[in-house]
């Protein structure tokens, strides 16, 4: 993703979190890193990607809703939310 598109994506994500009652503690860019394995999409091969860390907090009463929505997906190697 080119930089202006990345900035717009981060802004939209932040607005969505705040509209739903959460707030953002920290957004940190880790820069460009090598991917653990090469990926192919739209006829292109990718070996590098941007990494970033976002710390977001949401209301406790919505925890069950998030757990249902983001239940572990066996096709992925990670969980969207660790807690």
Other residues' Cβ atoms within 10 Å of the Cβ of residue 22: 16
Domains of the chain: 3-69 (3.30.70.60)
Write out the two tokens for 26: 């920290």
Q: How would residue 1 be classed by pLDDT, with cut points 50, 70 and 90?
A: low
What is residue 78's predicted lDDT score, i.e. its pLDDT? 52
CB-CB neighbours of 61 under 10 Å: 8
At residue 20, does pLDDT exceed 70?
yes
Q: Using CB atoms within 10 Å of the CB of residue 75, give its burial: 0 to 12 exposed, 13 to 18 middle, 19+ buried.
A: exposed
pLDDT of residue 72: 65
Distances in Å between the Cα of 38 and the Cα atoms of 5, 24, 45, 51, 67 are 22, 31, 7, 15, 30
What pLDDT, in 10s, does the model give residues 23-81?
788 888 788 888 888 888 888 888 888 877 877 776 666 777 777 776 665 565 555 55
């Amino acid at each position: 993703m080119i930089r202006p598109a990345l900035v717009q994506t981060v802004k939209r994500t932040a607005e969505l979190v705040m509209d739903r009652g959460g707030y953002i503690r920290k957004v940190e860019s880790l820069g460009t890193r090598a991917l653990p394995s090469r990926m192919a999409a739209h006829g292109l091969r990718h070996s590098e990607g941007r990494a970033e860390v976002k710390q977001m907090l949401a209301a406790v009463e919505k925890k069950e809703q998030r757990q249902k929505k983001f239940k572990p997906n066996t096709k992925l190697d990670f969980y969207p939310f660790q807690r």
